[in-house]
């Protein structure tokens, strides 16, 4: 029996936006996407935005992405779930009723209670954070000239590695713009465990560490962070003198789930069944779901496609299909023209990996937009040497050549 379904999706990230776009293809679903931000954040590009890429390369306005696609967009923060009335409530005082609720809220930063990090560390989990970090880099050179500076990235996961690989080049470009030569800067990456990429095979971790060292990055393993002050990072017994620490080492589940009493696994993810269902008519996707490969954009997109297909099936009275996890391909860019690749048993690093990453980004953009727009978005995302509104850089740019 055919039944029109009112699908409400909360979270305009990878899983939620994809689910909304796919659901809206069916005339049997009315689709509302609720998200707290007006833009879709392409997280894999944020390290690049933080090191000279354009903001538009990692931020796409949701109203443009959804225009003409049959999705109603509501900018609001979901706070409460009323299971009996089948509705969600938002911080803005809205109440939104659903037949099927899809929760795709993503993770939030976690400092694990380490003293000083929340106050002093930078992050790159949003455009605002990336811009704040970029501004700090420029301001430091303006205020201090050419001092002895340490830049410390905490976390040897993909985000920390991508940032560490791109930062030396960007710092050199800023110094050049500011008319400074060869300041004694040092980029360090700090990881608490004995290898970078703790969940990856050893050969990949070692190749990435070697590549970083070749780019001039100091790799500190087995090094746990104990605290941060305004001018130092406490690691072991010897503090590192620094005013620039970027925390990429910890995330935790969106607080919405605890606040609304969802069942959680020991790993702090929401328990879902073989249909990604956490409770009757409530589905959890992407980073928040306890599935084999959650924590990756590729998985979130896969979840979005899967859930849309099943809800459409249900609307026609068909049996839902079981969820099958999809093994992702891990591609991590480390500096320009080099990326490490883990594709099943195939492991390698180099220029081919870099092109694979560009292809993956293009496919990622195409998951949300038609090919011509996705190609344009890829070009924007590849832009370099964006110095923001730094007065020193802009002054130098507009000054006539000597």
Ligand X SMILES: Cc1cc2nc3c(=O)[nH]c(=O)nc-3n(C[C@H](O)[C@H](O)[C@H](O)COP(=O)(O)OP(=O)(O)OC[C@H]3O[C@@H](n4cnc5c(N)ncnc54)[C@H](O)[C@@H]3O)c2cc1C
Residue closer to ligand X by CB (options 104, 196) is 104
d(C-alpha 259, C-alpha 261), whole Å: 6
Using the rule CB under 6 A, which residue among 12, 53, 57, 155 binds ligand X?
Answer: 12
Binding of ligand X at residue 15 (CB under 6 A)? yes
Residue linked to tokens 């953009």: 365
d(CA 364, CA 92): 32
* Residue 124 vs 205, nearer CB to ligand X: 124
Query: Which of the ranges 33-41, 112-120, 199-207, 370-378 carries the binding residues for ligand X, by CB under 6 A?
Result: 33-41
Q: Least Å distance between CB 401 and ligand X?
A: 38
Q: Does 37 sit near ligand X (CB under 6 A)?
A: yes
Q: At closest approach, how far in Å is the CB of 308 from ligand X?
A: 13
Residue 171 engages ligand X in binding (rule: CB under 6 A) = no
Q: Does 154 bind ligand X (CB under 6 A)?
A: no
Q: Which of residues 331-370 bind ligand X (CB under 6 A)?
A: none
Structural contact between residues 240 and 120, judged by C-beta atoms closer than 8 angstroms = no
Binding status of residue 160 toward ligand X by CB under 6 A: no
Q: Which of 22, 191, 243, 287 binds ligand X (CB under 6 A)?
A: 287
Distance of closest approach, residue 129 Cβ to ligand X, in angstroms? 9
What CA–CA distances, in Å, run from 86 to 6, 78, 259, 264?
11, 13, 17, 21
Contact with ligand X (CB under 6 A) among 77, 169, 260, 268: 77
Please give the structure tokens belonging to residue 209.
Answer: 């560490």
Instruction: Compute φ and ψ for 252, nearest 5 degrees.
Output: -140, 170
How many residues interact with ligand X (rule CB under 6 A)?
Answer: 32
CB 239, CB 232: distance < 8 Å: yes
If the CB atoms of residues 167 and 393 are measured against ligand X, the closer one turns out to be 167
Binding to ligand X by residue 125, rule CB under 6 A? yes
| 3-state secondary structure (DSSP) of residue 219 | strand
Residue 279 beta carbon to ligand X: minimum distance, rounded to whole angstroms: 17
**Residue 254 within binding range of ligand X, rule CB under 6 A:** yes
Per CB under 6 A, which region of 28-36, 110-118, 140-148, 223-231 contacts ligand X? 28-36
Q: How far is the CB of 123 from ligand X (least distance, A)?
A: 8
Among residues 33 and 114, whose Cβ is nearest to ligand X? 33
> Does 106 participate in binding ligand X (rule CB under 6 A)?
yes
> Which token pair is 63?
């109203």
The reply to whether 297 sits near ligand X by the rule CB under 6 A is: yes
CA–CA gap between residue 269 and residue 272 (Å, rounded): 9
Among 8, 24, 26, 44, binds ligand X (CB under 6 A): 44
In the bound state with ligand X, the residue whose beta carbon lies nearer, of 300 and 312, is: 300
Nearest approach in angstroms of CB 255 to ligand X is 8
Contacting residue, 8, 33, 46, 311, with ligand X by CB under 6 A: 46
Residue ranges in contact with ligand X by CB under 6 A:
10-16, 34-37, 43-44, 46, 77-78, 104-106, 124-125, 158-159, 254, 256, 286-287, 295-298, 300
């Amino acid at each position: 029996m055919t039944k029109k379904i009112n699908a409400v999706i909360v979270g305009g990230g990878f899983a939620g936006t994809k689910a909304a776009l796919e659901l809206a293809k069916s005339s049997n679903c009315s689709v509302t996407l609720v998200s707290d931000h007006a833009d879709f954040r392409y997280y894999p590009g944020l390290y690049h935005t933080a090191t000279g890429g354009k903001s538009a390369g990692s931020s796409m306005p949701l109203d443009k992405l959804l225009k003409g696609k049959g999705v109603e967009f509501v900018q609001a923060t979901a706070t409460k779930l009323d299971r009996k009335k089948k509705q969600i409530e938002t911080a803005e005082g809205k109440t939104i009723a659903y037949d099927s609720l899809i929760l795709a809220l993503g993770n939030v930063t976690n400092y694990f209670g380490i003293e000083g990090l929340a106050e002093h560390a930078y992050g790159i989990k949003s455009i605002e954070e990336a811009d704040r970090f970029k501004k700090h880099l420029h301001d430091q050179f303006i205020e201090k000239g050419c001092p002895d500076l340490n830049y410390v990235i905490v976390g040897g996961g993909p985000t920390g590695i991508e940032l560490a690989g791109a930062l030396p080049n960007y710092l050199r470009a800023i110094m050049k713009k500011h008319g400074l030569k060869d300041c004694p800067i040092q980029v360090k990456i700090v990881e608490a465990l004995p290898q970078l990429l703790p969940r990856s095979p050893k050969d990949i971790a070692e190749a990435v560490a070697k590549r970083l060292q070749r780019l001039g990055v100091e790799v500190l393993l087995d090094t746990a962070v104990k605290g941060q002050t305004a001018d130092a990072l406490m690691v072991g017994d010897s503090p590192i003198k620094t005013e620039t620490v970027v925390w990429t080492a910890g995330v935790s589940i969106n607080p919405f789930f605890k606040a609304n009493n969802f069942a959680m696994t020991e790993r702090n993810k929401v328990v879902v069944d073989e249909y990604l269902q956490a409770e009757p008519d409530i589905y959890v996707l992407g980073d928040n779901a306890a599935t084999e490969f959650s924590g990756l954009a590729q998985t979130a997109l896969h979840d979005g496609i899967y859930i849309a297909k099943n809800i459409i099936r249900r609307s026609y009275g068909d049996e839902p299909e079981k969820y099958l996890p999809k093994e992702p391909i891990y591609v991590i860019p480390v500096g320009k023209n080099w990326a490490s690749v883990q594709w099943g048993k195939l492991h390698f690093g180099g220029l081919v990996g870099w092109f694979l990453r560009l292809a993956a980004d293009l496919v990622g953009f195409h998951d949300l937009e038609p090919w011509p727009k996705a190609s344009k978005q890829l070009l924007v995302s590849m832009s370099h040497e964006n110095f923001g509104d730094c007065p020193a850089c802009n002054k130098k740019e507009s000054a006539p050549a000597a």
